[in-house]
Amino acid sequence: MIRLTNNAGSSLVVAIAAADTEVQIQTADTSKFPVLEYPGDVFPVRIRDNAGNYEYVLATAREGNRITILRGREGTTAKDFPAGAGFELVVTGEAWARLAEGRWVRPMDDSRNLLLPTRVDASTFTIAGDVTDIFRPNRALHLIQTTDAFGYVATSSYAGGATTITVQSCTVDAGLALVELGLEVESAPKYGNAANSDTLGGKTKAEVIAEAQGIVSTFGRTLMDDADAATARATLGLGSAAQLNTGTDAEKVPTNANLGSAAYANTGTGSGNIPVLDSNSKIPPALLPAMATDRTWGVYKAGTYTFTVPAGVTSIEVWLAGGGGGGGRTWTCNQGGVRGGGGGGCIKTLTVTPGAKYTIVLGLGGLQNTGLQNGGTSGYAGYPSTFAVEGQAAMMTANGGSAGTGGTATGGDYNMSGGAPYASTESAAVQYGGKSGLGDEQRHPPNPNYQPKDIRGVGGGGASGNHYVQAAHGADGYCEIYW
């Protein structure tokens, strides 16, 4: 689980090499960083030296001023850093993705203290206070203990100052340290709720069958009843059982079904238009409509993603764009700030193996500058997007746009710089941001008299603003893969 604290920053006490997985920070700063108390707790960090070199890492353990880290995260590579290099907690794209995808929460009291469990036996634990409102029956559980376990709440009751929770489909062991709560499930089939395993929407099998029989007409039920099948076929004009089973013509189509003559059935011509069947009793492929063969996979929001090559695919085409630069703002009514440039773009065709995995890091669009200043302000640069074989260095990089300048790109068969901004014809104060290197629409307000709507093309730069109109932030980068 991602752990965060405010203003957590320090510097390295000793230099580290690219292969090192532990750092030492200033002892006086250790209390600023999150406590990694339970398995899976992590926090994101950026290491940066005075020369501008940086690397994103993930802290996985902390003991005193010594912190264990995973190197080269989010498209960066492990580097050597000198003593004194900055070590600061930052909210990265990977952190946002983990927070958005998280399905487990740790229950807390009103003072934001964790509610810690006490084991009673293999199927029961207690928590101080009345927490029956959150430990409701059928709510998913994750028990963090000697052997982590997943199950759900069977019952919960409050008495004597504590809530007693009975679990189902898991075992509470002696190492129980923490409980996480997940989504509620109506009958908990995923966690093995045997009491409801033979139900559909809370109804038994017999109730579902009875309801279905009430909907189907009496005649409809005869179609499903062998004893009345002959009567049903006669009513529908389908002919005798012999005709349906063997047919009276060579093509085995009953003549009284009015499906056309033998010529129509065998040649597929004329008003009957029934195509002839092949030796396998199937319609020949030449008579079938063409099937679409193009396939597309895409992501359009900043974060880290994994693409797995589908079965049967041996070649892909990758389109990658960096984040657009943010727009600036000015105090003057008829003059805009500096507009954001579009993110760079690159295109590459790769020979691939089914099942191979690739890591895509999409850059965040640059923030707009909301300050008012005579002469105009500049927005912030967008972040780069990268494409790499899982676990390897990036093979494609589309850099983010900056104030007034499009981003560059490398590694593609085709590498295009992002577009520089250009002025709107609506007003000198409403200035469009630049397009991405792949030609996507720039972000801009539709009318100088209104606040800009949140519509933009991926990879585009942000528009400038003035005293009345906010500047727009740059668009996130994106990746599309075709095969």
Q: Please name which of 381, 347, 344, 346 lies closest in space to residue 474, comparing C-alpha atoms.
A: 381
By C-alpha distance, which of 319, 337, 339, 360 is closest to 458?
A: 319
Residue 3 CB contacts under 8 Å (≥ 6 apart), including other chains = 34, 35, 36, 41, 42, 43
Same fold? 9-101, 118-195: yes
Domain positions in the chain are: 9-101, 118-195, 214-287, 292-483
Beta strands in 146-288 (DSSP E): 149-159, 162-168, 178-184, 199-200, 203-204
Per-residue model confidence as pLDDT tens for the chain (483 residues): 788 889 999 999 999 999 999 999 999 999 999 988 777 788 999 999 999 999 999 999 999 999 999 999 989 999 999 999 999 999 888 777 766 655 678 888 888 788 999 999 999 999 999 999 889 888 888 898 888 888 889 999 999 999 999 999 899 999 998 898 886 554 444 434 444 444 455 565 566 666 666 666 666 665 555 556 666 666 665 555 444 444 444 444 444 444 444 443 444 444 444 555 666 656 566 555 544 445 788 888 889 999 999 999 999 999 998 888 877 665 555 555 567 778 888 999 999 999 999 999 998 887 776 655 554 556 678 889 999 999 999 999 999 888 778 889 999 998 888 877 654 444 444 455 567 657 654 433 333 333 333 333 455 655 555 555 566 777 888 899 998
Q: How far apart are CA 341 and CA 423, in angstroms?
A: 12
Say if residues 460 and 305 touch (Cβ distance below 8 Å).
Answer: no
Residues 325/382, Cβ–Cβ less than 8 Å: yes
Note the Cα 101 to chain centre separation in Å.
7
The two tokens of residue 223 are 């179609």
What amino acid is encoded at 73 in this protein? R
- Residues 6 or more apart whose CB falls under 8 angstroms from that of 13 comprise 24, 25, 26, 65, 83
Burial (CB count <10 Å: 0-12, 13-18, 19+), residue 239: middle
3-state secondary structure 385-406: EEEEECCCCCCEEECCCEECEC
Return the CATH class of domain 9-101: mainly beta
Cα gap 371→379, rounded to integer Å: 10
Model pLDDT, residue 11? 96
Contact 460/442 with Cβ under 8 angstroms? yes
* Residues sharing a CB contact under 8 Å with residue 120, sequence separation 6 or more, in sequence order: 126, 164, 172
Neighbours of 145 (CB within 10 A): 21
CATH topology of domain 118-195: Thrombin, subunit H (2.40.10)
